[in-house]
Structure 1
Amino acid sequence: QPLSSEKYVVEGKNVTLSCNYSTTGTVNSLQWYRQYLGAKPEFLLQVNEYSSKSEPDLRLYSKATKEIKRVDLEIFSAAVSDSALYYCALSLITEFAPLLLLNN
């Protein structure tokens, strides 16, 4: 769930996008995607609940905070080319029960 629907920033300034999440499952990873108008979403970066990640070439930094169930994406030195729709997503760890196959 986004914390705000739109962000306005002065070119050259940093901007932080935040996303709250709620789940009863175990989080495997949290991802950020960017979608330009008329284009498909593109993957930016991925973190888990205990890590942060930096993508210097993209001027991006992301960090998840498990205690408050929030993941942030910071864009450094924002440019007009950063104008897009940003998505956060999460993937859960799927646990399977042991399976016993019996042959008659």
Structure 2
Amino acid sequence: MDNKGTEKNSQEKETVKLSCSYSTSNYLYWYRQYPGSAPEFLELILDGTTKTKKSDVDPRLSVKLTKQEQKHVDLKISSAAVSDSALYYCALRPTVTGNIWVPYKNPLPSERDSKNRADKNIVTQERKKCQAELLI
């Protein structure tokens, strides 16, 4: 994932574009966090289309996704206002590949002694985020 820790400064009424590029997941989430508050869910992109959007999200916020070898998602804020100043996150859903549920009818003696066999089958687990701080 690219664009970690980006800070954008903008003027009121300008259009602001926050970008996020990634290549590993089909689930991308956008969040906004105001100082002293918990992150607020804005939108979920699944396989390149908006699947879930917070019902009361300001209509000035829009998401545009372009699929290439590396996926690229822009969060646009039209007619920016001081109230848009916040930390914005794009986050990927954790991804696990490999068969983590392997049936063991008669495991080998060395496997019987293993306390956590499923851990051996986890190939990768990824949790990444991209953030941008917007100051208006």
TM-score interval, smaller chain: 0.7 to 0.9
Q: Greater CA radius of gyration, 1 or 2?
A: 2
- Distance in 1 (CA, whole Å) between partners of 2:36 and 2:4 is 24
Change (3 A) 1:63 1:48: farther
**Kept after mapping to 2: 8 A contact 1:62/1:72:** yes
- Distance in 2 (CA, whole Å) between partners of 1:93 and 1:85 is 24
Could you tell me which residue of structure 1 aligns to residue 11 of structure 2? Answer: 10
Could you tell me which residue of structure 2 aligns to residue 87 of structure 1? Answer: 89
1:34 aligns with 2:32: yes
The TM-score normalised by the length of structure 2 is: 0.59
Change (3 A) 1:61 1:14: same
**Kept after mapping to 2: 8 A contact 1:52/1:61:** no
Could you tell me which residue of structure 1 aligns to residue 42 of structure 2? Answer: 44
How far 1:91 sits from its partner (Å)? 1.4
Measured on the aligned residues, the alpha-carbon RMSD in Å equals 2.8
Change (3 A) 1:57 1:92: closer
AA in 2 matched with 1:87: Y
Give ranges in structure 1 of 5+ residues lacking alignment: none
Give ranges in structure 2 of 5+ residues lacking alignment: 107-136
Change (3 A) 1:4 1:102: closer
Identity %: 48
How far 1:12 sits from its partner (Å)? 1.4
How far 1:83 sits from its partner (Å)? 0.2
How far 1:3 sits from its partner (Å)? 7.0
- Distance in 2 (CA, whole Å) between partners of 1:100 and 1:57 is 45
Q: How many residues align?
A: 101
Change (3 A) 1:3 1:39: closer
Match of 1:61, SS state, is strand
Q: Which moved more, 1:40-49 or 1:80-89?
A: 40-49
The TM-score normalised by the length of structure 1 is: 0.74
1:66 aligns with 2:67: yes
